[in-house]
Amino acid sequence: MNIASVKLVYFSPTGTTKAVVQGIARGINHSTVELIDITLPDARKEPLKASEDELLVVAVPVYMGRVPALVMEWLQALQAHHTPAVCVVVYGNRVYDDALLELTNTVMEHGCLPVAGAAYIGEHSFSNAETPTAQGRPDEDDLRHAEMFGRTIREKLQSASSASRLSGVQVPGEYPYRGDPTLWTVDFIAVSDACSHCGVCAAVCPVGAIDADDCTVIDQERCITCCACIRKCPENARTMKPGLVKDASKRLHTLYQERKDPEYFV
Ligand SMILES: Cc1cc2nc3c(=O)[nH]c(=O)nc-3n(C[C@H](O)[C@H](O)[C@H](O)COP(=O)(O)O)c2cc1C
Ligand code: SF4
Ligand code: SF4
């Protein structure tokens, strides 16, 4: 079938999901590609629309084994009409549980025809120099895999005469979905004197939780503990305070060193 254009949508506070999506886009190698970054609040103000002759790729990080709640909320406004769709989850080398199934079911409920799915590994959001987990992922091998997956998607689409002839995809997971997607409400970020008041942290926060006039003030109810502000601070002035998140970082470092590999389903 002929695809007029490809829309690749991603939520990616620390950039690993974005890197995977870019790899998949290289593999799909279509002349008309639109990368839609929904990480920042303004980008989630508009609902997404997709038609039958477009391919939609939706990629999210796994939070607590699930699709991040704010992405689920945004996807409720998705308007698609028999749109072939590819769902991708990126997780921090622990587990992705039911996230891929949840994402796949959600886009299907809003008019998509899921034709492929994949799970990739990205450096864990809580990873740091002292307690690294999946450091440097996605690496070269992961990105080669992402390109191969992109080519596989293209071949599947080319082999069908129309969207209605495409076979659907089965992805792993259980329903009712396991686990609780509620995130911790926690005061976990320390800001040191190295802060130059540049405003980068407030600008990159996906939920606008940091006061633009005083970056030490964080709305803990809004914070999704994504660690984007810590990673992107140019002065390395933001670190984890002792407590829940730092303990989780240590635990992940101890328990999830064994390398997991990407998986795909077509
Ligand atoms: C609140 C939160 C919960 C997470 N839960 C999981 C999880 O259940 N399993 C896992 O393997 N990784 C988990 N991660 C790690 C992210 O899925 C992973 O680091 C991902 O690559 C981050 O994507 P990004 O770089 O696009 O932000 C979690 C991260 C955060 C911030
Ligand atoms: S990004 Fe770092 S240096 Fe810039 S305002 Fe935030 S804490 Fe300060
Ligand atoms: S304040 Fe919270 S939600 Fe905002 S960037 Fe930092 S960790 Fe992420």
Shared-domain flag, residues 85 and 35: yes
> CB burial class (10 A; 0-12, 13-18, 19+) of residue 42?
exposed
Q: Check if 209 has its Cβ closer than 6 Å to any atom of ligand 3.
A: yes
Task: Indicate whether 247 belongs to any domain.
Answer: no
Among 42, 20, 14, smallest CA distance to 150 is for 20
Ligand 2, atom 4, lies closest to the CA of 198
88-89-95-99 Cα dihedral, nearest 10 degrees? -90
pLDDT of residue 164: 78
* C-alpha 213 to ligand 2 mean position (Å): 11
Whole-number Å distance, alpha carbon 167 to ligand 1 midpoint, is: 30
Residues 164 and 204 in one domain: no
Residues 196 and 79 in one domain: no
Query: Could you tell me if the CB of 228 is within 6 A of ligand 3?
Result: yes
Domain span at residue 72? 5-177+260-265
Maximum pairwise Cα distance, the chain: 62
Ligand index nearest the alpha carbon of residue 248: 1
Q: Which helix (H) or strand (E) holds 142?
A: helix 140-159
Q: ipTM value of the model?
A: 0.99
User: Is the beta carbon of 70 within 6 A of some atom in ligand 3?
Assistant: no
> Does residue 198 sit in the same domain as residue 67?
no
Do residue 13 and residue 70 come from a single domain? yes
> Is the domain of 10 the same as that of 95?
yes
Q: Is residue 252 part of a domain?
A: no
Q: Are residues 20 and 127 in the same domain?
A: yes
The CATH number linked to 136 is: 3.40.50.360
Q: What is the pLDDT of residue 140?
A: 98
pLDDT for residue 163 is more than 80: no
Judgement on whether residues 237 and 164 belong to the same structural domain of the protein: no
Atom from ligand 1 closest to the CA of residue 224: 1
* Per-residue pLDDT reduced to its tens digit, 81-139: 999 999 999 999 999 999 999 999 999 999 999 999 999 999 999 999 999 999 999 99
* Inter-residue contact 120 to 100 (CB < 8 Å): no
209, 124: one domain = no
Question: Closest Cα partner for 226 from 208, 211, 213?
Answer: 208
CATH of the domain at 206: 3.30.70.20
Total domain count, the chain: 2
Q: What is the pLDDT of residue 1?
A: 85
Question: How far is residue 162 from each of residues 2, 108, 152, 165, 223, measured CA to CA in Å?
Answer: 8, 18, 17, 5, 44
Instruction: Verify that 24 and 109 share a domain, yes or no.
Output: yes
Pocket test for ligand 1, best of 62, 120, 121, 247 (most atoms within 8 A of CB): 62
- Counting Cα atoms < 13 Å in the Cβ hemisphere of 223 gives 22
In a shared domain, residues 150 and 212: no
